[in-house]
Structure 1
Amino acid sequence: MSFLPILLMFALLYFVMIRPQQKRAREHRELVASVSAGDEVVTSAGIFGVVSEVEGDVVWLEVAKDLELKVVKGTVERRFTEPGTAEEFEDPIED
């Protein structure tokens, strides 16, 4: 019976910390696998760009007109066009 509290603590630790992290890792793997040309993405370094080409583990991001960066596919953090994100980063200055 003295092992029961220890087992309960490990079970709680698993469901509170480990499970959510595994879920986030799975979602990130799915996102990275689904990146394709034309996607607007944000990298883990905070670089915003449009995917112009995917070559295996490398993604070419167009960050400005005639300026492309070569980044590792795994650094893509999220899609910029996900609901609720595009409005946050629009330029408020109108011409």
Structure 2
Amino acid sequence: MESLLQFVPLIAIFGIMYFLLIRPQQKKMKEHQNMVSALRRGDQVITQGGLIGKVSKVKEGENEVEVELGEGVKVRVVQSTIATVLSKTEPAK
């Protein structure tokens, strides 16, 4: 019985760590995946490198986005490196 009581604090610590660290991180990661999957042409985004641009093309099968940084300056960016969407465009009717 005493050996079982020795494991109770370890189990409690793991439970606390799960609810304070692991679960919020998983929720944040899921929100980021939803944000990236909802990217459309015309959205203004910030990449993890700090570049601000407008999405000009979304390549579905390749997991890439073409971002226009300035007039005539387009770069290909991996979708998961999009950090923030500044402004969303309205969906086409």
Shorter-chain-normalised TM-score: which range? 0.7 to 0.9
Of residues 19, 27, 32, the one that matches 2:36 is 32
Does residue 47 in structure 1 map to residue 35 in structure 2? no
Greater RCO (CA < 8 Å, at least 6 residues apart): 2
The one-character-per-residue Cα deviations of 1:21-66 (angstroms, maximum 9, x if unpaired) are: 0011000100110001010000111110000000121101011011
TM-score normalised over the length of structure 2: 0.84
Q: What TM-score comes out, normalization by structure 1 length?
A: 0.82
Distance in 2, Cα, partners of 1:15 & 1:58: 33
Residue 11 (structure 1) aligned to one of 15, 28, 33: 15
**Alignment RMSD (CA, Å):** 1.1
* Aligned residue number for residue 66 of structure 1: 72
Unaligned residue ranges in structure 2 (runs of 5+): 89-93
Shift of the alpha carbon at 1:80? Answer: 1.4
How many Å separate the matches in 2 of 1:70 and 1:16?
36
Equivalent position to 2:25, from 21, 25, 43: 21
Moved over 4 A (4+): none
SS in 1 for 2:80: helix
Residue range with higher mean Cα deviation, 72-81 or 7-16: 72-81
Distance in 1 (alpha carbons) for counterparts of 2:59 and 2:33: 16
Tell me the percent identity.
34
